[in-house]
Amino acid sequence: MIYEEILHDELKNGMPDDIIAKGKATFDKRLEEIDWKKIF
């Protein structure tokens, strides 16, 4: 996913691991909560 690629690049740029882990968890949770039937 593009989001994970961005976070990977930020890790290489020195972003702390805990911030990246929290960002991934938040994104994954929000992705699961999307009601795709309402969008399409």
**How many separate helices (H) and strands (E) can be counted in the chain?**
3, 0
pLDDT band at 40 (very low <50, low <70, confident <90, very high): confident
Counting the structural domains of the chain, the total is 1
Range of the domain at 28: 2-34
Residue 7 falls inside a structural domain: yes
Residue 11 falls inside a structural domain: yes
Q: What's the CA gap between 25 and 22, in Å, rounded?
A: 5
> Model's pTM, two decimal places?
0.71
Q: pLDDT tens across 1-39, in order?
A: 898 899 999 999 999 999 999 999 999 999 999 999 998
pLDDT of residue 4: 87
Residue 15 falls inside a structural domain: yes
Residue 39 falls inside a structural domain: no
